[in-house]
Amino acid sequence: MNNRAATIGGYVAGFALLFLIWHFASQFLVRSVLFPSPFPVFERAVVLIEDGLLQEAVLASMRRILQGFLLGSALGIPIGLALGSFRPVRLLLEPWTEFFRFIPAVAMITVAVIWFGIGEESKIFLIAYTTVFVVIIATAAGVGAVGKDKIRAAQCLGANRFQLFALVALPATVPYILTGMRLAMANAFVTIVAAELVASNDGLGKMLWDARLFMQVEDIFVALISLGLLGFATDRTFRLLIRAFAGRFNPTM
Amino acid sequence: MALVALEGVGKTFRGRTGAWEAVRDFSLELAEGEFFCLLGTSGCGKTTVLNMLAGFEAPTTGRILLDGKPVRGPGADRGVVFQGHDSLYDWLTALDNIAFGLRLRGMAKAERRAVAQRFLTMVGLTGQGAKHPSELSGGMKQRIQIARALANDPRILLMDEPFGALDAMTRAVLQNELSRIWAETRKTVLFITHDIEEAVALSTRVGVMKRGPGGTLKAVVPVDLPFPRERTSDGFMQTFRQVHALIHEEIHPHE
Ligand SMILES: Nc1ncnc2c1ncn2[C@@H]1O[C@H](COP(=O)(O)OP(=O)(O)OP(=O)(O)O)[C@@H](O)[C@H]1O
Ligand SMILES: [Mg+2]
């Protein structure tokens, strides 16, 4: 409990320091209308929240992230497991993963818009795209990293092939899967903004884009801070989940 | 009929660096209920012999019989205790690790936990069943491995330097525990070590291996001493010296 208080205290102090430096930088170093101090930004944030605009943007972006992320993970985990478990599947699919993971989701935006329009589908496609390869690679690596003795021990306790997979390989791979998903979540944040910048009617990316058009510097900062906080909160939640469900698997996480 | 028979078993590894004959013409019969220690210098092929008997690797020549039937791949009739503790399942409690083999057989949860509890007590870890492997010391993990193998009731227990990574004091404690457990269960054991004292303290027979390449069984020394073994007794010292002389020739072949 004490430890937890220290952690939270550290976060609060860390963020406070960040805002303090920002304030001083805007007052004494840069001194430009293009670089507002935190206070007008907070005021603007309050207004946006009162009007319900910020919540709307956050919800729109988060919904897309979650949908695409879950879709990408749901595809990536079984593919990764198959890839790690069966040599023919690996030989067949590895060139794909090695090829597509170098084509960033941002580069796929144009294709996504042509295929799916500027509605929800294109964003969900892009998030799923950016998620799926990271999850596949992490999952396959996890399967490959299952200790030889763990497999052998199960074999001489009488495990058949299905039991080896379900009771040894799969649970041993869970920490790798979760770590892959965590990395993918960070990618999803990058991708959603890019996708919404280019083509969208709502979301934080759209908010950034509009603010740029109308030179509303405070709005830009509100959107940026929202992104940072959302990403931070999501990642923390993920870490807590990893601890709760998989703390046993990897005590160092 | 012997429980286990290795008949002219050989193993040659082929790899990038060419062929390496690790084991050559290895023959041995193990009777039901004996505790056989396989002793030899590092790299003489002890693990290779055990791996073939466990079914992890196929012999290149000769054959291995268990109850008169040739060994093909690993099976529940041969329990293995590994040298490291990577073989334990981190995501299961100590108790569920012990019960793992019973679970594979489809035994009901309550029943297999009751059995596992008995073996947890046998290895001296009563009350520690809820801990996970990451919360156990090295010695405790080896106890769990032994309990896990025994709970599955194999025909023979294969142990590859199970105490090799432990400090001298823990090792001595575990040796005594294993001796007691063996006296209770009379399970047939093949035990690999390169510690002469350990071999003489535990076994009914000690087999000394010749150095590789082509490691093979050089001599078998029966240990006819009563249990529990008194390590400072004359009989113990005498057997120790006998085995030591055999090993010494392998370490210093040109003296
Ligand atoms: N998979 C393998 N491929 C090639 N050579 C191998 C392989 N496994 C073992 N060897 C070789 O076979 C010989 C015997 O190895 P083994 O592991 O059986 O020795 P050991 O008696 O168990 O030694 P230690 O006491 O150090 O564990 C060694 O020379 C080793 O290099
Ligand atoms: Mg060895």
Q: Is A2 exposed, middle or buried (0-12, 13-18, 19+ CB in 10 A)?
A: exposed
Sheet holding B4-15, edge to edge: B18-30, B4-15, B61-66, B69-70
Is the CB of B80 inside 8 Å of chain A's CB atoms? Answer: yes
Is the domain of B108 the same as that of B180? no
What do you get for the CA distance between the two ends of chain A, in Å?
A: 19
Q: Same domain, yes or no, for B54 and B144? A: no
A171·B73 Cβ contact <8 A: no
- Min Cα distance B243 → chain A (Å) is 31
Q: Per-residue pLDDT averaged across B27-39, rounded?
A: 94
Residue B164 domain-assigned (yes or no): yes
Q: What's the whole-number average pLDDT of chain B?
A: 91
The answer to whether A152 contacts B79, with C-beta atoms less than 8 Å apart, is no
Whether B164 and B236 map to the same domain: the answer is: yes
Coil, strand, or helix at residue B28? strand
Tell me whether B78 touches chain A (CB under 8 Å): yes
Q: How far is the CA of B43 from the centre of ligand 1 (A)?
A: 5
**For B136, left (φ over 0), alpha (ψ -120 to 50), or beta?**
beta
Q: Take residue B124 and report the two structure tokens written for it.
A: 């001296």
Strand partners, B215: B23
Q: Sort strands B61-66 and B69-70 into parallel, antiparallel or unpaired.
A: antiparallel
Under a CB-based contact definition with an 8 Å cutoff, are residues A22 and A42 in contact?
A: no
Model confidence, pTM: 0.82
* Model confidence pLDDT, tens digit, residues A21-31: 888 888 888 77
In sequence order, the β-bridge partners of residue B35 are B189
Given B153, B179, B200, which residue is the final one in a domain? B153
Count Cβ neighbours within 10 Å for each residue of B212-224 and write b for 16 or more, e otherwise: bebbbbbeebebe
Question: How much is the ipTM here?
Answer: 0.91
Q: Mark whether B242 and B121 lie in a shared domain.
A: no
- What DSSP character marks residue A106? G
Residues B61 and B174 in one domain: yes
Answer yes or no: do A150 and B89 touch at CB < 8 A. Answer: yes
**What's the distance, Cα to Cα, between the start and end of chain B in Å?**
41
Q: pLDDT tens digits, residue range B98-110?
A: 999 999 999 999 9
Q: What tens digit of pLDDT does each residue of B133-180 get? A: 988 988 899 999 999 999 999 999 999 999 988 888 888 988 998 999
Distance CA A71, CA A10 (A): 35
For ligand 1, residues with CB inside 6 Å are B 13, 15, 20, 22, 40, 42-48, 194, 212
CB proximity list for A252: less than 8 A, separation 6 or greater: none
B84 in a domain, yes or no?
no
Query: Quick one: which H or E segment has residue A133?
Result: helix A120-144
User: Is the pLDDT score of B209 beyond 80?
Assistant: yes
Contacts of B215 (CB under 8 A, 6+ apart): B22, B23, B24, B26, B40, B43, B44, B45, B46, B48, B209
Question: Which residues share a beta bridge with B209?
Answer: B217
Amino acid identity of residue A252, one-letter, is T
Q: Does B73 touch chain A (CB under 8 A)?
A: yes
Residue by residue, pLDDT tens for chain A (253 residues) are 578 888 889 888 988 898 888 888 888 887 777 788 888 888 888 988 888 888 999 999 999 999 999 999 999 999 999 998 888 888 888 888 888 888 988 889 889 888 988 888 899 999 999 999 999 999 999 998 899 999 999 999 999 999 999 999 998 898 889 889 999 999 898 898 888 887 788 899 889 988 888 888 889 999 999 999 999 999 988 888 777 666 555 444 3
B213 assigned to some structural domain: yes
| DSSP H or E run through B241 | helix B234-251
Residue B176 placed within a domain? yes
> Residue B157: what pLDDT?
95
What CA–CA distance (Å, rounded) separates B223 from B199? 9
What are the pLDDT digits (tens) for A135-157? 999 999 999 889 999 999 999 99
Cβ distance B78 to A156 less than 8 Å, yes or no, reads yes
Strand order in the sheet with B217-222: B78-81, B156-160, B188-193, B35-39, B205-209, B217-222
- 3-state class percentages of chain A: helix first, strand second, coil last, to nearest 5: 85, 0, 15
What residues make up the domain containing B135? 89-153
Residues B197 and B237 in one domain: yes
List the CATH number of the domain containing B161. Answer: 3.40.50.300
> Which B residues 13-72 touch A at CB under 8 Å?
54-56
pLDDT above 60: residue B239? yes
Task: Tally the domains of chain B.
Answer: 2
Mutation target for B interface from A156, A165, A173, A242: give the one with most B CBs within 10 A. A156
> Is residue B113 one of the residues assigned to a domain?
yes
Check CB contact under 8 Å for A248 and B91.
yes
* B239 and B128 within one domain: no
Amino acid B166 reads: L
CATH topology of domain A40-249: MetI-like fold (1.10.3720)
With respect to residue B52, please indicate whether it lies within any of the assigned structural domains: yes
Q: Are residues B212 and B146 in the same domain?
A: no
What does the alpha-carbon distance between residue B71 and residue B55 come to, in Å, rounded to a whole number? 7
